[in-house]
RNA sequence: GGCGGGUUGCCCGAGUGGCCAAAGGGAGCAGACUGUAAAUCUGCCGGCUCUGCCUACAUAGGUUCGAACCCUAUACCCGCCA
């Protein structure tokens, strides 16, 4: 088996680490217990978190013990964002999100066998803790000078948003998590995004001071895109791992649309393919970019990982049907139904104007926007451009007597179902 | 507690009585070109029953023919001082 540090390195999953040689030695000396935290700041994890989950999986596959941590406590506090103070979520909401994230995390790691993972929640060791204990037993190890030097805090101190004591204290909580996991389970490695680096080192420093032990931290890089825009965001917002929040079809489409310049990186980071396979796909991207073999491989692997084979098959079938060059009216009912099921839908009792229908499906946010879309030539009915704002589909336009396929621009699709009331 | 500054459209940010649905930038959307890509160019970018009307410049009142701009109160934020 290749060295896990080398494995993570060629994949580009290591941006920062405490002491690489010491870490290699720790891995060589036997199984390492490691942790990575996920804060419940939303009802679902998103593809940014996927980097962490995959990193954990690689390390587990190399024979180590993962402790995925769901931040029931840290989620109540919120880590300092670079821009402004967070609004606190109420405890019931956070508790509900903890359960959801827990369920998601469990799909990515192996909870059985010789290197079984174990989910932990930092609320378990913080909820019963007194303020005095926090200040005496933990606070003494933290120097304010060090704390304000951390980038996340420094930026906020220099901004006019300032920073609350609550968020300022976040690093203390996260540092304490590492200490606690070190004491309970002998955890000696924490992984996380490099934007969390200050929080990761808060833990290693605390353990060095409190326990006199030297432990490790590993920061994954911020995922960047060639065009400079933020990774993981689309028109609709974040790409979530929850199928209700981002449909498997939309998820598949997201990866399929990866930039040529990014696709090889994404394959290394988000798939488990070998170096040779990825190099071959890279070659194909150069030789036959229009075939998008690398994008397909990426979309297939990640969709399978997150949603499973069955959902992937459906996403592919729908994509083929909807983006195929064939005439839509030639699609058989079963294929059409399946494809349409992947799209945002609207039900109408009667056929309205194209403008009303576009707005009804949510393809555009308002009727004004719908008019604009038509005016700009960006509105399509059953793959045919609509140029008249007043146009209204007729019975003859219904596919299989039931569906209308609306498109905005090149790739935003939605279906309208005519529901006949008896 | 005192004093000062601030709160503008998705974000940043101009505007300080009519010419303001509000400059500029960013983000976003569309078109051309393409490969459901990128880059580039062009257009759009509060809503509607769309040559007009409605809503909007923290909130609530007021002054005025007329207010994002003036006054009063309230809320929140920031800074300095105690």
Taking only the tens place, the pLDDT of each residue in A211-241 is 999 999 999 998 888 877 778 766 556 788 9
| Phi, psi (deg, nearest 5) at residue A327 | -70, 130
Beta-strand relationship, A403-408 and A412-418: antiparallel
**Distance, CA of A159 to CA of A84 (rounded, Å):** 9
Residue A410: inside a domain: yes
**Distance, CA of A233 to CA of A239 (rounded, Å):** 6
- Which 3 state secondary structure label does DSSP give A95? helix
Residue A125 has pLDDT above 80, yes or no: yes
Mean of all residue pLDDT scores within chain A: 89
Same domain, A49 and A172: yes
Residue A306 has pLDDT above 60, yes or no: yes
A389, closest nucleotide (Cα–C1'):
B50
Query: Is A268 exposed, middle or buried (CB count within 10 Å of its CB: 0-12, 13-18, 19+)?
Result: middle
Same domain, A82 and A209: yes
What tens digit of pLDDT does each residue of A318-329 get?
888 888 666 677
Question: Encoding tokens for residue A125?
Answer: 């060791």
Least confident stretch, A112-116, A162-166, A392-396: A162-166
Domain that holds residue A254: 233-323
Assess contact for A268 and A274: CB atoms under 8 A: no
Find the CATH number of the domain harbouring A48. 3.40.50.620
Residue A414: inside a domain: yes
Boundary-marking domain end, from A323, A357, A387: A323
Asked whether strand B has any atom less than 7 Å from the CB of A156, the reply is no
For residue A75, give the nearest of A63, A55, A93 by alpha carbon.
A93
Asked whether strand B has any atom less than 7 Å from the CB of A309, the reply is no
Residue A226: inside a domain: no
Residue A284: inside a domain: yes
Asked whether strand B has any atom less than 7 Å from the CB of A212, the reply is no
**Distance, CA of A299 to CA of A257 (rounded, Å):** 9
Boundary-marking domain end, from A298, A323, A348: A323
Same domain, A165 and A37: yes
Same domain, A213 and A250: no
Beta-strand relationship, A33-38 and A379-381: unpaired
What pLDDT is recorded for position A389?
Answer: 83
Q: Please give the angle made by the CA atoms of A141, A177 and A107, to the nearest 5 degrees.
A: 160
If residue A253 lies in a helix (H) or strand (E), which one and from where to where?
Answer: helix A248-256
Same domain, A166 and A277: no
Question: Encoding tokens for residue A388?
Answer: 């008249």
Asked whether strand B has any atom less than 7 Å from the CB of A316, the reply is no
Boundary-marking domain end, from A278, A300, A323: A323
Please compute the mean of the pLDDT values over residues A316-343 and round it to a whole number. 80
Please tell me chain A's helix, strand, coil percentages from 3-state DSSP, rounded to the nearest 5: 50, 15, 35
For residue A167, give the nearest of A181, A180, A154, A182 by alpha carbon.
A154
Residue A238: inside a domain: yes
Find the CATH number of the domain harbouring A394. 3.10.290.10
Q: How many domains does chain A have?
A: 3
Same domain, A380 and A264: no
Please compute the mean of the pLDDT values over residues A406-419 and round it to a whole number. 89
Same domain, A316 and A355: no
Same domain, A345 and A377: yes
Residue A228: inside a domain: no
Torsional sign, CA A275, A280, A281, A287: positive
Nucleotides of B under 7 A from a protein CB: 27-32, 34-39, 43-50, 77-79
Find the CATH number of the domain harbouring A259. 1.10.240.10
Residue A84 (CA) to nucleotide B73 (C1'), in angstroms, measures 28
A:222-261 Cβ neighbours of strand B under 7 Å: 226-227, 229, 234-235, 253, 256-261
Query: Is A134 exposed, middle or buried (CB count within 10 Å of its CB: 0-12, 13-18, 19+)?
Result: middle
What tens digit of pLDDT does each residue of A1-43 get?
578 999 999 999 999 999 999 999 999 998 999 999 999 988 8
Same domain, A86 and A202: yes
**Distance, CA of A141 to CA of A172 (rounded, Å):** 9
Residue A225: inside a domain: no
């Amino acid at each position: 088996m290749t060295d896990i540090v080398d494995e993570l390195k060629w994949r580009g999953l290591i941006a920062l680490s405490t002491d690489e040689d010491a870490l290699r030695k720790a891995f060589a000396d036997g199984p390492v217990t490691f942790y990575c935290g996920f804060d419940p700041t939303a009802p679902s994890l998103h593809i940014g978190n996927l980097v962490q989950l995959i990193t954990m999986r690689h390390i587990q596959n190399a024979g180590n013990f993962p402790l995925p941590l769901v931040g029931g406590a840290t989620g109540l506090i919120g880590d300092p964002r670079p821009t402004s103070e967070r609004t606190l979520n109420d405890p019931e909401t956070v508790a509900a999100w903890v359960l959801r994230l827990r369920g998601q995390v469990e799909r990515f790691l192996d909870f059985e066998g010789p290197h079984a993972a174990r989910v932990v929640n930092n609320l378990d060791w913080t909820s019963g803790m007194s303020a005095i204990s926090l200040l005496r037993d933990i606070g003494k190890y933290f120097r304010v000078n060090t704390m304000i030097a951390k980038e996340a805090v420094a930026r906020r101190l220099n901004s006019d948003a300032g920073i609350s004591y609550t968020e300022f204290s976040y690093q203390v909580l996260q540092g304490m998590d590492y200490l606690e996991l070190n004491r309970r389970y002998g955890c000696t490695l924490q992984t996380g995004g490099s934007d969390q680096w200050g929080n990761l080192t808060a833990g290693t420093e605390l353990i060095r001071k409190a326990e006199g032990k030297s432990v490790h931290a590993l920061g994954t890089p911020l995922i960047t895109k060639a065009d400079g825009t933020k990774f993981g965001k689309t028109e609709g917002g974040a790409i979530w791992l929850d199928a209700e929040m981002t449909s498997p079809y939309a998820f598949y489409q997201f990866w399929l649309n990866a930039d040529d310049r990014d696709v090889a990186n994404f394959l290394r980071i988000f798939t488990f393919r070998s170096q040779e396979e990825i190099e071959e796909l890279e070659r194909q991207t150069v030789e036959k970019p229009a075939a998008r073999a690398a994008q397909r491989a990426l979309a297939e692997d990640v969709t399978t990982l997150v949603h499973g084979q069955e959902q992937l098959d459906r996403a592919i079938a729908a994509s083929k049907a909807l983006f195929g060059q064939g005439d839509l009216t030639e699609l058989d009912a079963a294929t059409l139904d399946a494809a349409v099921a992947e799209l945002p839908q609207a039900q109408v009792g009667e056929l309205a104007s194209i403008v009303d229908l576009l707005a009804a499906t949510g393809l555009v946010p308002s009727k004004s926007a719908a008019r604009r879309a038509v005016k700009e030539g960006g509105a399509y009915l059953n793959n045919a451009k609509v140029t008249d704002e007043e146009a209204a589909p007729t019975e003859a336009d219904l596919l299989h007597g039931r569906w209308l396929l609306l498109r905005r621009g090149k790739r935003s699709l939605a279906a309208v179902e005519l529901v006949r009331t008896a």
